[in-house]
Chain A
């Protein structure tokens, strides 16, 4: 759990983070969202003390981060940035092994962890471990960057617009992978982006920042359904809000349990937008819904989407 308590940061007279308070729950995928200059990156970098607060406290798992030595704190926290910052003079395996080596892990354990992470990110370990960063594509570099952040298995992962510099197709794949990893590991992720759709797709909680303050801190659905101010409303965008809502709401929320229908079922955890898409393709106004095991547990109708 991260408690950000009334932090403030001023650069040359300009207040970048203004009396900001926020609590990130354990295991959340918390997105800091906002326009350029709103202070989201600065706030993120305060968590691992790359930026020192002028005033205010930040506590991670109850400990005041200012009381810990900087290097020790950062080795416990994963850090992935937009330009990856991969060390050009080290191979992929050495890059990933950075923090484990700093922590003094035995060599065998490090090698195993590198293999594990490369497999997790669907990069063939034997092909990729000896490559240099400049031999990788943009998407591969980003994967290695995130793998490096996860190497020491930190409970908290900080990510600063990591997917902003890759092409949309790769970005989509990376987002899917990150979501998968978050789900399977249960880590707390703090993720900075300016892209509302990315936030809606990945986040469990979104903090919209404006001029150094939190404009709203809510779940994606809540943000769409109950924007707290005109700023939030405008930022989220009035165009296609309905479609955004559909991509945020899940089938589970609108399904009719106990009933059956024809055809291959849709997962209860899928967003309503997928249900709409499936209905359009099949020209059917009713779909069966299945749970994780594949067992049909209900149905969803076209009219349920717009209730």
Chain B
């Protein structure tokens, strides 16, 4: 009798290898790395402190959650259980942050006011692993966009609540934020201004370019070769190349202007390309039928072609915005302001918290924009 692979005993089957792997990684991080780091002052680098030393009360909760997640990896692949794993992981994120905040309070209490308690490698790995488990769990549960939004909002709300309640105030990162509060909000606003100030003009110029490339076959080559060429130039180089002519024109070399021009130029390619792909990818017979029904060119464009091309256009918008957020970080180097200013100031002073103060919000901004635009695209697709 030929038989296929021998069946393993049901109870020992690892049904979710990803979950197990991530849970193991989290466990190892907790065991081997410092959950937080403790430094007597700003100049000395911190010493790692393990979880059980740092947070004796919340630590066991974290470990319990990690073990529960590992156990769930052996569970049968039922959607509800995948959701449950995602929920446990979301809880883990919140508890980990709470534990870190509590650890900062505990450890900092006995030391001078200059002492710093920072988030350690263990914390970051746990957070990252937990976030991935949430993503994986929701994917396996085939969660719809509404459910994903609900999860995201719940986590954000819980974290915001933690921050508002002051549970995190002892962390060095929060200290840094408190020190720079005014500048921080200004930086965030400037960052968003730069992104909007480059994406909107890019759309105004890029969409017509994209349309031109479809309508006039000859223009297609030169347009896209030029735009591709622009895209290839590293951002700081383009910023730099613009400084000189702008200075010569008396518009001041350093500052937001060269950044805005460069950012707009960078945004042109994704906009033009997705316009061309979206509108160019529509079957010619559709426009033909619309014209046959008596629609004018403008009506065809707005009522037929744009709705059909919407998914591609929105995908392009998503790329453009995320790219712009990233490039704006670099713009701080030429004095344009934005979150990058904290990043590079922190690098200059060897102050990790300052770097984090700039980098984290930039990353979160990009993730949020990506998430929201993804939702927008998904809702339009219906």
CB distance from A20 to the nearest CB of B (A): 14
Write the nearest CB–CB distance from A92 to chain B, whole angstroms: 34
A residues within 8 A CB of B2? 52-57, 66
Give Cα distance in the complex from A195 to B4, angstroms: 32
* CA of A232 to CA of B3, assembled, Å: 32
In chain B, residues 1-45, which have Cβ atoms closer than 8 Å to a Cβ of chain A? 1-4
Which residues does chain A contribute within 8 Å of B4, judged by CB atoms? 52, 54
Report the bound CA distance from A57 to B4 in whole Å: 12
Interface size on A, residues (CB 8 A): 7
Residue of B nearest to A64 (CB): B2
Bound-state CA distance A53–B5 (Å) is 11
Cα of A54 to Cα of B1 in the assembled complex, Å: 9
Return A52 CB to nearest CB of chain B, in Å.
5
- Residue on A nearest B5 in the bound complex, by CB: A52
Q: How many A-B residue pairs have CB under 8 A?
A: 14
Say whether chain A's binding surface is mostly helix, strand, loop, or mixed: mixed
**Chain B's nearest CB lies how many Å from the CB of A46?**
10
Q: Report the minimum CB–CB distance from A13 to chain B (whole Å).
A: 15
Closest chain B residue to A54, Cβ basis: B4
Bound: A52/B5 CA distance, A: 10
Nearest CB in chain B to that of A10: its residue: B4
Chain B residues near A53 (CB-CB < 8 A): 2
C-alpha spacing A198/B105, complex, angstroms: 83
Q: A residues within 8 A CB of B3?
A: 54-55
* Cα-based distance from A55 to B4 in the complex (angstroms): 8
Residues of B within 8 A of A52 (CB): 2, 4
CA distance in complex: A56, B4 (Å): 11
Question: For the complex, what is the distance from the CA of A246 to the CA of B251, rounded to whole Å?
Answer: 95
- Closest B residue to A65 using CB positions: B2
Alpha-carbon distance between A66 and B1 when the two chains are bound, in angstroms: 10
Q: How many angstroms from the CA of A66 to the CA of B2 in the assembled complex? A: 7
In angstroms, Cα B2 to Cα A56, docked, is 6
Contact partners of A66 in chain B: CB under 8 A: 2
Query: Which residues does chain A contribute within 8 Å of B1, judged by CB atoms?
Result: 55-57
Q: Mark A37-77, 1 if CB is under 8 A from B, else 0.
A: 00000000000000011111100000000100000000000
B77 to chain A, nearest CB (A): 14
A14 to B1, alpha carbons, bound, how many Å?
Answer: 20
Instruction: Please give the distance in Å from B2's CB to the nearest CB on chain A.
Output: 5
| Nearest-Cβ distance from residue A2 to partner chain B, whole angstroms | 15
For window 87-101 of A, CB contacts with B under 8 Å fall at none
A9 (CB) vs chain B CBs: closest residue: B4
A 172-207 to B, binary, CB cutoff 8 A, 1 in contact else 0? 000000000000000000000000000000000000
Write out, one digit per residue, whether chain B residues 69-104 have a CB within 8 A of any chain A CB (1) or not (0). Answer: 000000000000000000000000000000000000
CB distance from A256 to the nearest CB of B (A): 53
Min C-beta distance of A69 to chain B, whole Å: 15
A217→B4 CA distance, assembly (Å): 28
Name the distance in Å between B339's Cβ and chain A's nearest Cβ: 46
Docked pose: A56 CA to B3 CA in angstroms:
8
Task: Flag A261-303 by CB within 8 Å of B: 1 or 0 each.
Answer: 0000000000000000000000000000000000000000000
Cα A66 to Cα B3 in complex, Å, equals 10
Residue of B nearest to A53 (CB): B2
Closest to A7 in B: B2
**A172 CB to nearest B CB, Å:** 35
Q: Which chain B residues border A56 with CB–CB below 8 Å? A: 1-2
A157 vs B4: C-alpha distance in the bound complex, in angstroms?
Answer: 25
For window 55-69 of chain B, which residues contact chain A by CB distance below 8 Å? none
**Which partner residue on chain B sits nearest A66 by CB separation?**
B2
Expressed in whole angstroms, the minimum distance between the Cβ of B128 and any Cβ of chain A is: 36
How far does the Cβ of B6 sit from chain A's closest Cβ, in whole Å?
A: 13
Smallest CB–CB gap between A67 and chain B, Å? 10
Q: Which residues of B contact A55 (CB under 8 A)?
A: 1-3
Closest to A55 in B: B1
Shortest distance between the CB of B176 and any CB in chain A (Å) = 55
The smallest beta-carbon distance between B344 and chain A, in angstroms, is 47
- A54 contacts which chain B residues (CB < 8 A)? 2-4
Bound Cα distance from A52 to B4, whole angstroms: 7
CB contacts (< 8 Å) of A57 on chain B: these are 1-2
- B274-318 contacts to A, CB under 8 A, are none
Min CB gap A56→B, angstroms: 7
Q: What's the Cα separation between A162 and B3 when bound, in Å?
A: 30
For A57, the closest partner residue in chain B by CB is: B2
Most buried by A among B1, B2, B3, B4: B2
Question: Closest chain A residue to B4 by CB distance?
Answer: A52
**What's the nearest-Cβ distance from chain B to residue A289, in Å?**
50
Nearest CB of chain B from residue A277's CB, rounded to whole Å: 46
Complex: A274 Cα to B271 Cα, angstroms? 67
- How many angstroms from the CA of A160 to the CA of B1 in the assembled complex? 26
Which residues of A are interface residues toward B (Cβ below 8 A)? Answer: 52-57, 66
Can you list 14 A-B pairs with a CB-CB distance of less than 8 A?
A: A52-B2, A52-B4, A53-B2, A54-B2, A54-B3, A54-B4, A55-B1, A55-B2, A55-B3, A56-B1, A56-B2, A57-B1, A57-B2, A66-B2
Given contacts A52-B4, A54-B4, 8 further A-B contacts (CB under 8 A): A52-B2, A53-B2, A54-B3, A55-B3, A56-B1, A57-B1, A57-B2, A66-B2
Q: Which 6 pairs, one residue from A and one from B, show the smallest C-beta to C-beta distance?
A: A66-B2, A53-B2, A52-B4, A55-B1, A57-B2, A54-B4
